[in-house]
Amino acid sequence: MNQPAYGSQVPQRRLRRSSTDKWFGGVCGGLAQRFGLSSGLVRLLFVLSIVLPGPQVLIYLLLWVVIPRG
């Protein structure tokens, strides 16, 4: 059980829009950074999901508004 020493900081990955790896708002880049994935993979999955019925574009726009800039 490796616990951090008293007073040490544990690095936390927060969900933020990417300011360096972005095409449209940085949502996919931020999600990729947060979950340790390739940003290309996240973008590909998003584009492929658009083929399916559902509110994918609305969810992307909502995330663009809700997720803070990084």
- Average pLDDT of the residues in 1-17: 67
Domain ranges within the chain, ordered by starting residue: 27-66
Give the closest residue to 63 by CA, choosing from 24, 33, 37.
Answer: 24
- What are the pLDDT digits (tens) for 14-56? 889 988 888 888 999 999 999 999 999 999 999 999 999 999 9
What's the rounded Cα separation, in Å, for the pair 50 and 59? 11
R_g over Cα of the chain: 15
Q: Is 11 exposed, middle or buried (0-12, 13-18, 19+ CB in 10 A)?
A: exposed
